[in-house]
Amino acid sequence: MTKIGIYPGTFDPITYGHVDIIKKALKVVNELIVAVSNDYSKDYMFNSEERVSIIKNSLFKDLNFKKKNIKVIPFNILTTSLCKKYNAHIIFRGLRAVSDFEYEFQLAGMNRKLDNKIETVFLMSDAEKQVISSKFVKEIARLNGKINNFVTKSTTKMIKGKLWLENFFLFYFFHYLLIKLKQRRTQWY
């Protein structure tokens, strides 16, 4: 019998902490669906299609995971509805610290109320990966710090590319504003 599990998250971007949870989840299930949340209320560095692509490149190209065991998909429905759609009975959630537990515990309780056939399994990444968070990775990258110990090579490349584009557009936006201000100042005289 095939055991299917879902590992939902924003993965903005995927880190080695997420990868560690994926490895551990694959020891429990035969097939794992890495479900990329497309919650429009959040401000993401990458859109859901980009995050799906980044995850696929990280797992299948950089780390050589087998495609037959892992499916990477975007989603914007309840996680319990996603479980029904794929006939999954396990939701995997990663815990980094005690501070994560309260939120995750409440989320698991709500999922249980929505569908009591679905179990939530909490997994902790290895100790050296527990401090890694997508938020910190983006912050370090924005401040020109090294992120290669936290994310794969292709993810590093995507983050640097995105930040370069942001800086490029920001530079030209301010350059455009300065030109417009100078033009107005000459009109005032």
Give catalytic residue positions: 18, 42, 96, 134
Measured CA to CA, the distance from residue 23 to residue 157 in angstroms comes to 23
Contact (Cβ atoms closer than 8 angstroms) between residue 170 and residue 48: no
In terms of C-beta distances under 8 Å and separation of at least 24 residues, what long-range contacts does 115-118 make, across chains too? 115/80, 115/83, 115/84, 117/89, 118/80, 118/83, 118/88, 118/89, 118/90, 118/91
Angle at 41 between CA 38 and CA 45, to 5 degrees: 65
